Amino acid sequence: MGFAEQKQLDELYVMPTFARKQVCFVEGEGMRLRDDAGKEYLDFLSGIGVCSLGHCHPAVVDAIAKQAARLIHVSNYFYIEQRGEVAKLLSDALNGWRPEDAVGTWKTFFANSGAEANECAMKLARVWSRRNSHGGNIIVTLEGSFHGRTMETLAATAQPAKQELFEPLPGGFVHVPINDLEALQAVFDAHPQQICAVMLEVIQGESGVHPCTQEFLRAAEQLAHSNGALLIADEVQTGIYRTGKAFAFQHFGIQPDIVAIAKGVAAGVPMGACAAREDIAAAFQPGDHGSTFGGSNLAMAAAHTTLHVLHDEHFTTRVTEVGAYLAEALAGLAQVIEVRGLGLMLGAELDEALAPDVVAAGLEAGLVLNAPTPTTLRFLPPLVCEKADVDVLIEKLSTILSELGNKE
């Protein structure tokens, strides 16, 4: 079936919640995608940060195929192979793979998406507060954040444009501006003993790649803990080596109590995870939370392989080096006025509102790009990205920006 037929069926039978680009991808390998006409593209979005090992990594493909031939799903009523192993790998990664730096064991709840991971994190924070006689139920989040599309995670997402259609939203949330220490202190002053958690993205992705400052992150940790509250790190987009460390919070010398994980953890297979320090996780009892599909045999096989490859092949060094190379190259483009982010999670701010046009022109030129705002290009390539891929990107991007600028 050709592109025209695929498009027609999609438009007839699929809900119109996405404005799709005019391309149908059918194959992929590493950094490259191919459409139904055989045209090849360099992918600098990786399924919105999901395909951490690139498209169809041989080890992941093999693990999925072997597991699918043996057992796909039995539910969480039973023990299965690899679930405990994956949870241990996540615990080790959250401790920076260094036993001497470990804060203790992390325990994981397995879900299917980032929204579900964040939902679990918020439920756990409220349960922990109630069962430890703190009683707080307010969760503080940051303006410009994005935590998911469920009603609860949408309420946590401090972006009115994404919320207004779905009101009334669940209550129990207070929002403060990113990196505003006075506003954060004021919220705690205004709600004594009522706050159970501060929930934040160390680097906000959907609003255009905006990092929190180290000063703000440390203040959030200190204020939460001194007021009997928890610190939740939403690492859905920033985690799993995206920024050059296993988790982005490890760049800033803070220690969250709960961490939400998804996207790159299973290299393309749907999976989410909520990990908490052992004493926090103990607040959950059987029946408090659950998921039919979470932690399935297939997801565990994919995650087990993904985490081993990322750790064993030293992606910390690779992502740091290629990320720095990409950031420097982007900063050298005449139309780029700022580059934000860490590792292979970067935002390039343009001097004009041309980002959507750049994305469209990029597709024509064989580049898969993303524009979270009219002036921002966001780069989330597979972590297998090499400097040679960056060189191709910059050459094409320079031409595109020049041509678009000349049209103005």
Q: pLDDT tens, 27-54?
A: 999 999 999 999 999 999 999 999 999 9
Please compute, for residue 129, the number of CA atoms within 13 A of its CA located in the half-sphere on the CB side: 25
Q: How confident is the model at residue 19 (pLDDT cuts 50, 70, 90)?
A: very high
Q: How far is 77 from 70, CA to CA, in rounded Å?
A: 18
Q: Count Cβ atoms below 10 Å from residue 236 Cβ, excluding itself.
A: 28
Q: How far is 167 from 395, CA to CA, in rounded Å?
A: 45
Fold adopted by 64-312 = Aspartate Aminotransferase; domain 2 (3.40.640)
Contact between residue 397 and residue 367 where contact means Cβ atoms under 8 Å apart: yes
Looking at residues 286-297, what average pLDDT do you find?
96
User: By mean pLDDT, which of 97-101, 145-149, 327-331, 393-397 is the weakest?
Assistant: 97-101
Q: How far is 180 from 183, CA to CA, in rounded Å?
A: 5
pTM: predicted TM-score of the whole model, two decimal places: 0.96
Pair of tokens at residue 54: 């690139």
> Is the pLDDT score of 405 beyond 90?
no
- Of 150, 91, 83, nearest to 281 (Cα)? 91
For residue 278, the Cα-to-chain-centroid distance in whole angstroms is 23
Its sign, for the CA torsion 36, 40, 46, 50, is: positive
> Is the pLDDT score of 289 beyond 80?
yes
Residue 295 φ/ψ region, left for φ over 0, alpha for ψ in the -120 to 50 degree band, beta for the rest:
left
Looking at residues 61-67, what average pLDDT do you find?
98
Q: How far is 174 from 186, CA to CA, in rounded Å?
A: 11
* pLDDT confidence of residue 265: 98
Q: Count of residues for the chain?
A: 408
> Is the pLDDT score of 408 beyond 70?
no
pLDDT in tens, 246-265: 999 999 999 999 999 999 99
> Is the pLDDT score of 162 beyond 70?
yes
pLDDT in tens, 368-377: 999 999 999 9
How high does pLDDT run on average in the chain?
96
* pLDDT confidence of residue 95: 95
Pair of tokens at residue 359: 């994305």
Q: Which residue in the block uniquely carries the two structure tokens 């998921």?
A: 291
* pLDDT confidence of residue 103: 77
Q: How confident is the model at residue 1 (pLDDT cuts 50, 70, 90)?
A: confident
